[in-house]
């Protein structure tokens, strides 16, 4: 039969907790920044908000504490978080299988990009950590109007690749990634490497959940990618 052929899926990857093991460094950095202005929050409360836009993150935590801050204070808080995170960046590593997964997709001609709520100053150094070139397709918070759970980052990443969102899959470790994926009109794949459980990720919309990038690579056929054919298909 003659019928339209679907293109090989493209992938839009979150960064922290998805490709690099940095979630808890961010948690500690936020706690230090918050403690510096007299807000004492349990680590678990901070962890539940990692992956959100920094602005939404701060507003959510302030709502829980009953505090109010000026816009200038919030900007200073975000800058302090970035400075505290940079102090710990030496302990950040690539997650198991991350470099191999990206290399396998590239070798098969599968398009992919990174879309992160982090600003370029803290996100772009991860490219070297992953063994990626500077021109790797990456969308950071600086480039979009809103970050997760809004879909802007993933819509921008799909546009950067020249693909329709419905032909892409978002890979992320948090419920905020998956909510943004649903709003962007993409399928969502959850990774447990950021600390969220399988059921949480599935409830947020993940149609597949893997432990980390290594398991995703081992089961890549479940996403509709056939590595031995991907580079031969026409979009």
Q: Which residues pair with 187 in a beta bridge?
A: 169
Q: Which residues pair with 189 in a beta bridge?
A: 171, 208
DSSP state of 206: E
DSSP state of 144: S
Omega before 149 within 30 of 0, i.e. cis: yes
Cβ burial of 162 (10 Å; 0-12, 13-18, 19+) is exposed
The set of catalytic residues is 14, 16
Q: CA distances (Å), 182 to each of 185, 205, 226, in order?
A: 5, 7, 24
The number of residues in the chain equals 235
The answer to whether 163 touches 189, Cβ cutoff 8 Å, is: no
> Could you tell me which of 141, 134, 128, 146 has the C-alpha nearest to residue 89?
128
The strand ranges marked E within 69-148 are 93-94, 112-115, 138-139
Tell me the C-alpha distance between 20 and 58, whole Å: 23
């Amino acid at each position: 039969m003659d019928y339209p052929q679907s293109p090989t899926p493209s992938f839009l990857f979150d960064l922290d907790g998805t490709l690099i093991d940095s979630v808890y460094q961010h948690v500690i950095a936020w706690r230090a920044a918050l403690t510096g202005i007299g807000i004492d929050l349990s680590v678990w409360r901070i962890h539940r908000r990692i992956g959100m836009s920094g602005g939404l993150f701060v507003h959510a935590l302030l709502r829980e504490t009953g505090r109010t801050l000026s816009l200038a204070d919030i900007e200073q808080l975000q800058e302090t978080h970035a400075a505290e995170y940079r102090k710990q960046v030496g302990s950040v590593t690539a997650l198991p299988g991350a470099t191999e997964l990206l290399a396998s997709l590239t070798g098969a001609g599968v398009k992919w990009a990174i879309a992160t709520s982090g600003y370029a100053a803290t996100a772009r150094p991860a490219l070297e950590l992953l063994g990626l070139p500077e021109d790797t397709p990456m969308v950071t918070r600086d480039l979009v109007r809103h970050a997760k759970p809004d879909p802007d980052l993933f819509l921008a990443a799909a546009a950067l690749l020249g693909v329709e969102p419905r032909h892409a899959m978002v890979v992320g470790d948090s419920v905020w990634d998956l909510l943004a994926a649903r709003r962007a009109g993409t399928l969502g794949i959850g990774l447990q490497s950021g600390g969220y459980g399988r059921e949480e990720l599935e409830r947020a919309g993940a149609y597949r959940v893997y432990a980390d990038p290594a398991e995703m690579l081992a089961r890549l056929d479940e996403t509709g990618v056939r590595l031995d054919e991907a580079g031969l298909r026409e979009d």
